[in-house]
Structures are given as C-alpha cells and as structure tokens.
A and B are shown apart, each in its own frame.
Chain A
Amino acid sequence: MANTQSPDTGIIGIFRHLDTVCTAIEKVRDRPDFAGHEVFSPTSYHEIEHASGFGASPVRAFTLIGALTGTCTGFGLALACDWDWPIVVGGKTAGIASLPAYVVLGFEFTILLGAISTVLGMLVMGRIPNPKRRVLDVRTTDDRFAIFLPGAQLSSPQAQFLRDCGAEEVRNT
C-alpha cells in the first residue's frame, strides 16, 4: 500500500508567527528525518527564503535565454525580410541593412519573449499546474504558515518536534 500513497499524505504543523516558523525551518532544514518537507506561507516573506537557505532562483536562466532568443528573432525577422525583398529608399544600396530602425523590433521581441519565458520559468520551477497535488490547509493562503512532512504519522517524533518548535496545531493530512 505504501507505494500507492498520495504525496499529500503526512503530517502538517500550522504556525501563527513568522519568527517561530523561521526558527523551525532552520531546525528541520538539515534533519534527515524531515527529508522532503514543504513549507507553506501566505505571502513571499524574505525571512522564509533566508531561513530555507535558497540562493538565486533558476528562473533567471529562463529570462536570459528567452530575452536573447527574442533579440535574435527581432533582428532576424527584419533582416531576413530585408534580404528577401529590399525596400530601396532614396536610391540607397540594397543589401545594407538599416540596423538603427530595426533596434525597435529587436527590443520589443527581447521583452516579449523574455517575459513569456519568465512566466514559463515561474510555472515550471514552481511545479504548477499540477492536478495531482491538493491544498493541504486552506489557512496557508490566508494568514498561517505551515510545515508539511509527507509519509509521517501523528505519533511520530517528528510531530512532537513540530509541536516543540511552536506549531499551534499538528494534524494528519
């Protein structure tokens, strides 16, 4: 039965205060018996990010690659059309691309593809949408913090540890 268990089954400790949950996160972070735990927060407090020890997010690679692709696409589109059928103005030599005019197109495509790939990066790295996961406690999108440990039991020492860290409630999910 164990391998058919939902990834959402386990114990969840609800915290009321930001400083309490940050202290708890720092404690459980490197404990092997808390491997695979998840932290929930109602908004993006930087304290939680620091306590979890996150560095720079890989979303930045998505942004960079998207933006550079956009620059190449914008200039490439204008240059390819220019090469295919030059619009000769004032008798100027065809084949000499008027790059300054294409800066606008290059710029707009940089922003456009950069923005689209950034959003894709946020979704991919955040693992959403994921219909297999469900909401564990509705209060975490309101005003409560939570630490979730998959596969643990309410009677386990981990549950007691969460209580000791200051969880106002520990329950099964």
Chain B
Amino acid sequence: MSDDSKLWSKTISDVNSEILVNLENPHPAYYVALALSVSALLVGIVFVALHFTYGLGLWTFRPPVYWEVDITNFVFWVGIGHAGTLISAILFLFRAKWRNTVNRSAEAMTIFAVICALVFPLIHMGRPWHGAIWAVPLPNTNNLWVNFRSPLFWDVMAISTYFTTSLLFWYMGLVPDLASIRDRCKGFKRLIYGIMSFGWRGTAKQWWHYEAGYGFLAALATPLVLSVHSVVSWDFAMSIQPGWHTTIFPPYFVAGAILSGCAMVYNLLLPVRYMFRLEKFILPEHLEACLRLTLLTSTIVFYAYSLEFFVAWYSGNPYEWALFEKRAIGPYSFYFWVMMFCNCIFPLALWSRRVRNNIPVAFVICVLINVGMWFERYNIIVSSLVEDFVPARWGHVQPGLWEIVITLGSFGLFTTFYLVFVKFFPIVSLSEIKLIMPKPLSSKAHGGAHHHG
C-alpha cells in the first residue's frame, strides 16, 4: 500500500476527469497520425480493388509459392493480436497490476489486428465473395461436408472463436467506462453512450456478477490464447514440407506471437500516452513491465530458433538440414539474419534497466522486433515453399510492389481503426486503473493503517 501511494501522483477522483477531458482534446500529432493512417489505408484499398479487377497475376509470386506475402501478413497480424488477450486474460489471472493500465489498448489492438489478419485470406481468394461458402461447414456441390480433419478448417474455427471471445472480453471491459462517459455527457451523446453501456448503473450486485463473469472469461480466454497460434502453426506443421514438419512449431509460434504482440503494445501505447497526455496514469513502471515480458518471450524465441537448427542437424534428415543451411547462408539469408538480429540479438539490450527506462531506445527495439517478426514469417513460409517436391519448379521469390503496398495498406487499416477507437473510448480502463490506485480511505482508516504498519 505504501509503495502504491508513492507511485501515484493522482487519486481515483482524477481518473475520469483527466482521462476523458483529453479524449476531446488530443495533441495535434494525433491528427497527423490519423491522416497518415487513412492515406495508407486508401492506397491499400485502391491496390486491392485493382487486384480484384485484374486478378492475382499482378503479384510477383509464382508457383509453387502461392501464398507468399498473404499468409505472411495473416500470421503476422494474428500474432500481433495475441498479446491483447494474453495481457487481459492471463495477466488478470496472475493479478499483475501493470496490466490494468495497458489492457484496454492491448485488447483493442487484438480486435483490429485480427480484422487485418482476416482480410488477407479474403484478398488472396481473388473472388472473396465465394469465401462465405467455402469457409462455413455447408455441404458443397459434391455433397461433401467440410473436412474437419483439415488444419485449415481448424484455423477458421480457432480464429473466429478467438475474435468473438476477444470482442466479448473487450466490450464487457468497456461497459462500465461507457457508463462513466455517459454520465459526463448530455443530450444525444448521452443516449448513444447510454445504449452502448447497456444502462450500466454500477450497483454492488452488478459489480459482483461482472467480476465473476470477467474472471470466467479470463479463464476461458487463457487456453484460447495458447491454442490459437498453435492451431495457426499446424497449418504448416501438419504438412510434410521440410522446415515446417516439426513438433516445436506450436510453442515456438505462441512465443513469437506474444513477443510481437508485446512489442506492438509498447509501440502503440507510447504515441497514445503522449497524444492524450496520459503520463500520470501510464507510469514508466508499467511500460517497463511490458518490456520485461518482451525480453522473456524474445529469449524463448531465441531458444526455439536454436533448437530448430539443432534438431534439423541432429535428425540426420538431409532435406531438413539442406533447407536450414539454405535459410542461413543461401538466397534467403538476408531475411534470416534480419529475423535473428531483430528478434534475438537487439532485444538482449533490454536486460539493462537503463535501456528499459530509455523510452526512445526501447521504442526502436520494439519497432525492430516487429520488423523481425514479419521477416520470421516470410522466412518460414517462402524458404520452405520455394523448393518443393518438383525440382523443375524451383526458383526464387521476393515481394514486389503489389505485395509491399498491400502490406502497408494493412498497417493503415490497423492504425486507422486504432486511432479512431482511442478518440471515442478511454484507452486506459477507467474502472480498472482505479483498482490499482490507492484506495479512497478516510483519515481514520489511514491512521489505523499506519498504526498497524
């Protein structure tokens, strides 16, 4: 308790007034960021529209690498979406206090990242309007049901469950905060926020059921977090392709996803903390905790990369080893070494407390981690696919203009959603940050506490 009081310069009475006032009046940098995001999104939309009109031939991929950047982006965005539910669910169960300041931001990030991920299979279909029929368990024209033994179908189920559960979790967390905004507004705005908050009144009974339900949602979401990227990894690991067919994939993918997600939380939180003047609420201690988690997952990823190489060598399988050799010193070595340095070597700097507390340096390391994680997916997918079982088709593939612009467009989609969200909803959970601040006790209780302490 005494540590908490030293940490905070604000009381719970400041939370609503200061956080919500800044919603209405962000720093001008906010509008610059929004304009950049919307521009990237619009360029992406134009390129996708041309792609739907003229077909997949515009892209530079060639058989046997059909999925190239689409699946790379899909896996990348699903990975980003991981940290959100990790922070809100697993850290909730562990009662990690720092999560209360960053969970809203991380959950919003999850929702928007999963939306970005879902866009890529649709883009890749070329005729996405058919996707509705292919993706759901309906008998097709051959009177067959979908193949429930296919990892691709598992993936559809895993991602849609993850999206729905994360959405429910995020929205239930928002309900009491929407009621707080409602109680500060008048007229039409009050009505809208009132409807969105389901008429939340904040009675002790409501909080009682809310807390219980929130705990159960966290308990349900915890195995879900670990399962989603495991299922995504089975898209690869269930095949017999060298470089993919390994049992280490599920934990390796989950650790990588949490690494990129935590780095992205940091990258998103810092600008928002500045634009909405939240320095007194999102404290350096909370940011540092996020970096510690990033460091932890980075070391797990480092271990997974090393183990993958060791097993490729130790297994004595010449095809597996040839592929790993090609990754490290062959035509894809650029992608490989970017991945190694960004995900494993640069984050080692976070062992130093000085680096963790140096916000610009930590920010750059987190950006590099996200670059590295994108390269990791590209490296896994393309270097394995490009030399398949028909040597006549072997060749070299690298991203062209279309791939790069649509990837940047997806970043535009993500940041546009995120920036619009932070403008209309509190990016720090009002009700949850109050819980980790010093409790509003009377002077009598304070006296008692000192006496006992």
Q: Which of A17, A108, A112 contacts B441 (CB 8 A)?
A: A17
Cβ contact within 8 Å between A128 and B439: no
Interface string of B153-181 (1 = CB under 8 A from A): 01001100100110011001000100110
Chain A residues within 8 Å of B179, by CB: 135, 141
Chain B residues within 8 Å of A98, by CB: 149
Count of chain A to chain B residue pairs whose CB atoms are closer than 8 Å in the complex: 207
Interface range on chain A (Cβ under 8 Å from partner):
35 or more
Cβ contact within 8 Å between B158 and A59: no
B401 at the interface (CB under 8 A from A): no
B143 at the interface (CB under 8 A from A): yes
Cβ < 8 Å to B, chain A residues 1-38: 16-20, 25, 38
B39 at the interface (CB under 8 A from A): no
Q: A116-B168, A121-B209 are in contact. Are A128 and B137 (CB under 8 A)?
A: no
Chain B residues within 8 Å of A81, by CB: 137, 145-146, 148
Cβ contact within 8 Å between B164 and A115: yes
Interface string of A155-167 (1 = CB under 8 A from B): 0000000000010
Cβ contact within 8 Å between B165 and A104: no
Stretch of B63-71, B197-205, B412-420 contacting A (4+ beta carbons < 8 Å): B197-205
Interface range on chain B (Cβ under 8 Å from partner):
35 or more
A77 at the interface (CB under 8 A from B): yes
Cβ contact within 8 Å between A17 and B445: yes
Q: Which of A18, A19, A118, A135 contacts B183 (CB 8 A)?
A: A135
A94 at the interface (CB under 8 A from B): no
Chain A residues within 8 Å of B146, by CB: 81
Cβ contact within 8 Å between B165 and A112: yes
B435 at the interface (CB under 8 A from A): yes
Q: A60-B212, A85-B145 are in contact. Are A128 and B432 (CB under 8 A)?
A: no
Cβ contact within 8 Å between B213 and A118: yes
Report the nearest A residue to B195, measured CB to CB.
A129
Q: A19-B441, A63-B220, A166-B442 are in contact. Are A122 and B209 (CB under 8 A)?
A: yes
Cβ contact within 8 Å between B15 and A115: no
Shortest B20–chain A CB gap in Å is: 10
Shortest A29–chain B CB gap in Å is: 11
Cβ contact within 8 Å between A41 and B207: yes
Complex Cα–Cα for A112 and B217 (A)? 10
Q: Which of B169, B198, B431 contacts A43 (CB 8 A)?
A: B431
Shortest B218–chain A CB gap in Å is: 10
Cβ contact within 8 Å between B157 and A105: yes
Chain B residues within 8 Å of A58, by CB: 209
Cβ contact within 8 Å between B440 and A18: yes
Cβ contact within 8 Å between A126 and B157: no
Cβ contact within 8 Å between B144 and A85: yes
Interface string of B401-439 (1 = CB under 8 A from A): 000000000000000000000000000000110110001
B16 at the interface (CB under 8 A from A): yes
Interface residues of A (CB under 8 A from B): 16-20, 25, 38-45, 47-49, 52, 54, 56-60, 62-63, 67, 77-78, 81-82, 84-85, 87, 89, 98, 101-102, 104-105, 107-109, 111-112, 114-116, 118-119, 121-123, 125-131, 133, 135-136, 138, 140-143, 166
Interface residues of B (CB under 8 A from A): 11-13, 15-17, 137, 139, 143-149, 154, 157-158, 161, 164-165, 168-169, 172, 176, 179-180, 182-184, 195, 198-214, 216-217, 220-221, 223-224, 227, 231, 431-432, 434-435, 439-442, 444-445
Give the top 6 A-B pairs by smallest Cβ distance, nearest first. Answer: A57-B212, A122-B213, A81-B145, A138-B183, A39-B204, A17-B442
28 pairs from A and B in contact (CB 8 Å cutoff) = A19-B441, A38-B204, A40-B203, A41-B202, A43-B176, A43-B434, A44-B207, A49-B208, A54-B208, A59-B209, A60-B212, A60-B216, A67-B220, A84-B145, A85-B144, A87-B145, A101-B148, A104-B158, A111-B161, A119-B168, A121-B209, A122-B210, A135-B182, A140-B201, A141-B176, A141-B183, A143-B11, A143-B434
